[in-house]
Chains A and B, each alone.
Chain A
Amino acid sequence: MNYAMALDYQNCINCKACEIACKEENGVQLGADKQRIWIGVVEGEVFGKPFTNFYPSQCNHCLDAPCVDVCPTNASHFSKGGIVKVDPHKCILCKGCMEACPYDARFVDDTMVAVDKCTFCDHRIEETGMTACQATCPTKVRMFGDLDDENSDLVKLLKARKFFFQKEKEKTLPKLFYLVPEDEAYAKQSISHSATIHTWESFKPLYDTVKARRSKQWKNA
């Protein structure tokens, strides 16, 4: 298993239902910057015509996660299916993982005095097959699934659509797949010039190589 998520971000309406669902499902600490998932908002203009883009985001559960490498006590670790998690009982609050994360996906949970982050709702995925944020999204932005299962809805979607990643240049091999919008104008206004557009065929071999190396660290619990 190799869990990942695709984001059809063109459909995002910034209702923040996913943020609420996440907080409620996982008992996330209350506070403006205490979020496991969020919607990034970017405003701009093209030839005087204003636009707003929404980028739903969270921990990218990178295959080559630097946050795991820097953790002195292995509190940050790969769990089953390559999910990057934090064991709060082992966290010494050095905050190295927060510095290492290219996505600002971690924060300190003051109720546990430890770093907290998205877990892909791993406590419920076996039962429901989806995360709370996916379940609640009214416009079906999110698609959670297993990259190793060629018949999964996620892989079928990735085979059908092109995608790109946030901050690919950091070489962490993230697993949040941003689907290239079908609307050309929206694609132009929302995809950075530096982003590389991938297809399933072009991306799969790279991920398989890194997974073979990194999956030795994946724990079963």
Chain B
Amino acid sequence: MEKCLICGLEINKIPLFKLLFNKTMFVAYILILAGFFGIYEVIGERYFSVVANAHASGIDPTNPALIEAMKNAVFGHVGEVTREVPWTLFIVNYMYMIYTGSGIIFLVALAELLNIKVIAKTAAAFMTLGLAFVFAGLFTIATDLNILNMLWMFKDPNFGAGMWLMLPLYSIYIPFVLFEIYLLITNKKELVKKVSFAILVLSIVVDIVEFYIQAKLFSMNTSRHLWTEFPILTLYFIISAFVASLGVMGIFSALIYRNLPNYHELIEVIRKALLFFISVLALYEIIAYLYVDKEWAFLMLFGPFKYAFFGGYILLTMTIPFLLIFKESKNTLTIIASVCVAIGAYVGRYLFVYGGNANPMTNRFGVGFEKYDIYDISNSYNYVAPHMGEILIVIGSFGIMIFIYKFLDEVFDVSKVREH
């Protein structure tokens, strides 16, 4: 393909139609379309649902909208967010996307530092994939927040809040990763030689800081003991992110690099790393649940979450993959293990977020007659199923991820195998 050179970057002169309309993009568009339906639904529920306050009922008691709102308040469902489970599938998907993406970027930087050649040759593609995942996570969280008031993040920042720290974090992190990708695909070899080592080390530092801030975000919620009593939460996030990332890298390799001459070598590296990190993760989970508040631990291990925990998380993320990749075998087994891990890690994030909210904070709705009677809200644990808008947005985020990767690949050929 014809190329042009800008700042040492070879850019494909691809026709706009071919860039935007191909099979992969078509899949991405379908998923993004689902996401837009989700956003439409969420906006409708968040900003335009029929709700009323106590004053409205006094000021204009015959208003039909008020009557509808009161009917909803008494017999139906009011609003988008329940007070028992404020963080839901949005946060699950945000965690999965951001941590997996950052994990991929972190792992590639580590592999380059350790001079693992097969990863170094494909580093640009993996880093771009990681970045696409990060953008998908940010897309999810953007739909969860009240964007109309986001200006206050700049006007009155609370520098100590984990949530605020996300703003400078990703303002630095994303350009930094873009620069790393630039170094991987540029033909300015002298520049690369000079800065590559420093950038690699800095990359690892930035990745650790990122996971530290993510852990701070959760551990500041002092009353949610599942989150605060996980020993060294930063380390847990890094290890679990590595596992999810390796799963995604396995699937990605099978899709993009299956015809590569050293495909088996690539899969072998992923297999060994996956085997190591799922073993560490398994060990970590065992130790962690010895520390976690028993009220939460019992809900997860023996309570209503036990099927998802053992059948979803433990089986898919650890047991099946471990058995499949324990010994060097066919590449297919590693790919199956990767698929299991990618799904299981999502279940893991789901359990972490929903589990943190599972233990009720108050006896507001009682454990007596109110529990069995009119409200039908109280339970010995909290769980609120994700609504359709959320699910569609999650599907849309996968479309965003595919779109960003494919776009950058078509323009910059990031998936091309490069010698370093």
* Chain B residue contacts of A171, Cβ below 8 A: 222
Tell me, yes or no, whether A24 is within 8 Å of chain B by CB: yes
Q: Min CB distance, B331 to chain A, in Å?
A: 42
As a 0/1 sequence over residues 134 to 169 of chain B, the CB contacts with chain A under 8 angstroms (1 = contact) are 000000000011111110110111101111101100
Complex alpha-carbon distance, A103 and B377, angstroms: 17
Question: Which residue, A55, A89, A99, A167, has most C-beta atoms of chain B within 10 A?
Answer: A99
CB–CB A104/B362 < 8 A? yes
* Chain A residue contacts of B295, Cβ below 8 A: none
Complex alpha-carbon distance, A171 and B152, angstroms: 29
CB–CB B57/A30 < 8 A? yes
CB–CB B78/A42 < 8 A? no
Q: Looking at the complex, which one of A31, A55, A111 makes contact with B363 (CB distance below 8 Å)?
A: A55
Instruction: Given A31-B78, A57-B364, A103-B362, answer yes or no on A114-B146 (Cβ-Cβ < 8 Å).
Output: yes
CB–CB B363/A41 < 8 A? yes
As a 0/1 sequence over residues 47 to 88 of chain B, the CB contacts with chain A under 8 angstroms (1 = contact) are 101011111111000000000011011100011111110110
Tell me, yes or no, whether B220 is within 8 Å of chain A by CB: yes
Tell me, yes or no, whether B221 is within 8 Å of chain A by CB: yes
Q: Min CB distance, A45 to chain B, in Å?
A: 12
Classify chain A: how many residues form its interface, as a range.
Answer: 35 or more
Instruction: Given A42-B368, A99-B87, A167-B223, answer yes or no on A30-B157 (Cβ-Cβ < 8 Å).
Output: no
CB–CB B222/A31 < 8 A? no
CB–CB B81/A95 < 8 A? yes
Question: Which residue, B81, B155, B364, has most C-beta atoms of chain A within 10 A?
Answer: B364
Instruction: Given A40-B363, A42-B363, answer yes or no on A100-B220 (Cβ-Cβ < 8 Å).
Output: yes
CB–CB B158/A73 < 8 A? yes
Closest residue of B by beta carbon distance from A172: B222
Tell me, yes or no, whether B290 is within 8 Å of chain A by CB: no
Q: Min CB distance, A158 to chain B, in Å?
A: 23
Q: Min CB distance, A7 to chain B, in Å?
A: 14
* Chain B residue contacts of A28, Cβ below 8 A: 53-54
Q: Which segment, of A64-72, A122-130, A139-147, faces chain B?
A: A64-72
CB–CB A29/B78 < 8 A? yes
Q: Min CB distance, A23 to chain B, in Å?
A: 4
* Chain B residue contacts of A103, Cβ below 8 A: 361-362
* Chain B residue contacts of A55, Cβ below 8 A: 363
Q: Min CB distance, A176 to chain B, in Å?
A: 12
Tell me, yes or no, whether B367 is within 8 Å of chain A by CB: yes
Complex alpha-carbon distance, A109 and B146, angstroms: 13
Complex alpha-carbon distance, A171 and B222, angstroms: 9
Complex alpha-carbon distance, A74 and B158, angstroms: 6
CB–CB A41/B83 < 8 A? no
Complex alpha-carbon distance, A202 and B306, angstroms: 44
CB–CB B149/A90 < 8 A? yes
Tell me, yes or no, whether A198 is within 8 Å of chain B by CB: no
Closest residue of A by beta carbon distance from B223: A102
Q: Min CB distance, B367 to chain A, in Å?
A: 6
Complex alpha-carbon distance, A100 and B367, angstroms: 23
Q: Min CB distance, A97 to chain B, in Å?
A: 9
* Chain B residue contacts of A101, Cβ below 8 A: 223, 361
CB–CB B161/A104 < 8 A? no
Q: Looking at the complex, which one of A24, A26, A33 makes contact with B83 (CB distance below 8 Å)?
A: A33
* Chain A residue contacts of B144, Cβ below 8 A: 93-94
Chain A binding surface, main DSSP class:
loop
* Chain B residue contacts of A70, Cβ below 8 A: 161-163, 220-221
Q: Looking at the complex, which one of B81, B82, B160, B223 makes contact with A170 (CB distance below 8 Å)?
A: B223
Complex alpha-carbon distance, A66 and B158, angstroms: 13
Tell me, yes or no, whether B375 is within 8 Å of chain A by CB: yes
Instruction: Given A28-B53, A94-B145, A114-B146, answer yes or no on A107-B224 (Cβ-Cβ < 8 Å).
Output: no
Complex alpha-carbon distance, A109 and B361, angstroms: 19
As a 0/1 sequence over residues 192 to 223 of chain B, the CB contacts with chain A under 8 angstroms (1 = contact) are 00000000000000000000000001001111
Closest residue of A by beta carbon distance from B150: A92
Q: Looking at the complex, which one of B86, B157, B368 makes contact with A99 (CB distance below 8 Å)?
A: B86
Chain B, 339-380, CB within 8 A of any chain A CB: 356-357, 360-370, 375, 377
Tell me, yes or no, whether B13 is within 8 Å of chain A by CB: no
CB–CB A43/B377 < 8 A? no
Complex alpha-carbon distance, A69 and B220, angstroms: 8
Chain A, 17-39, CB within 8 A of any chain B CB: 23-24, 26-35, 38
CB–CB B377/A32 < 8 A? yes
CB–CB B54/A27 < 8 A? yes
Closest residue of B by beta carbon distance from A25: B54
* Chain B residue contacts of A29, Cβ below 8 A: 51-54, 73, 78-79
* Chain A residue contacts of B369, Cβ below 8 A: 41, 43
Q: Looking at the complex, which one of A27, A43, A66 makes contact with B222 (CB distance below 8 Å)?
A: A66
* Chain A residue contacts of B375, Cβ below 8 A: 32
Tell me, yes or no, whether B387 is within 8 Å of chain A by CB: no
Chain A, 164-209, CB within 8 A of any chain B CB: 167, 170-172
Tell me, yes or no, whether B46 is within 8 Å of chain A by CB: yes
* Chain B residue contacts of A105, Cβ below 8 A: 362
Could you tell me which B residues sit within 8 Å of A by CB distance? 46-47, 49, 51-58, 69-70, 72-74, 78-84, 86-87, 144-150, 152-153, 155-158, 160-164, 166-167, 217, 220-224, 356-357, 360-370, 375, 377
18 A-B pairs with CB atoms under 8 Å apart are A30-B73, A30-B78, A33-B83, A40-B364, A40-B366, A41-B366, A43-B369, A66-B223, A70-B163, A92-B146, A92-B149, A93-B81, A96-B220, A98-B83, A99-B86, A100-B221, A100-B222, A108-B79
Given A70-B163, A110-B78, 10 additional A-B pairs, CB 8 A = A29-B73, A32-B375, A34-B79, A41-B366, A69-B158, A69-B220, A72-B163, A100-B221, A104-B84, A107-B81
8 closest A-B pairs by CB? A41-B366, A102-B223, A72-B164, A104-B361, A27-B55, A43-B368, A31-B78, A93-B146
